[in-house]
Structure 1
């Protein structure tokens, strides 16, 4: 169940961050309008990925996903935009991922 949850978080991050990046590319980089359309579709699909999490609590899922989003955004920037995080970016992302683990996977 934990592996499924992690996989869904990764999928959600790819869809949300990728969708936002496609919109960014259209607005900020002058790409074709249909690129933004693909981004909007990806952003909509993100909602479905989050909804399939095994945990039934919306607030918990979205709170934990926030940490995945932080780390995923930095990774996306590194891979696709040549961004190089500094040590504080890395520390902050690790803190967020620890928060994800505590929120989602701590024994209750």
Structure 2
């Protein structure tokens, strides 16, 4: 159950980081109104808070989060931007997830 909760927090953090960053992207690159950027900034602050809810230390959480971020960015690009991942995107994402699982959930003394 603890691992499930941790993964849920990673996914929530990923949605906040990618969603907030995307709002700022739309504001600056796609000429959306200024409030897109403001909402994006608030969502990015929430991302920083959500990451603190993990039980591991900062370095481990942020290193492991990288693997989740890679997968979620690929999925976001596919579903939101219409970017179709190729086999190398998928292989790289799987490698990143394996690394994330080792960093975060490997048994330690």
Give the structure-2-normalised TM-score: 0.96
**Does 1:86 find its partner at 2:86?**
yes
- Equivalents in 1 of 2:79, 2:36: separation in Å? 19
Q: Which runs of 5+ in 1 are unaligned?
A: none
Give the structure-1-normalised TM-score: 0.97
Q: Which runs of 5+ in 2 are unaligned?
A: none
Match of 2:61, SS state, is helix
Q: Deviations over 1:25-75 (max 9, x none)?
A: 0111111110111100010100111000022x1100000001111111010
Runs ≥4 in structure 1, deviation > 3 angstroms?
A: none
**Does 1:21 find its partner at 2:10?**
no
The size of the alignment, in residue pairs, is 107
**Does 1:50 find its partner at 2:56?**
no
- Equivalents in 2 of 1:12, 1:94: separation in Å? 19
Match of 1:17, SS state, is helix
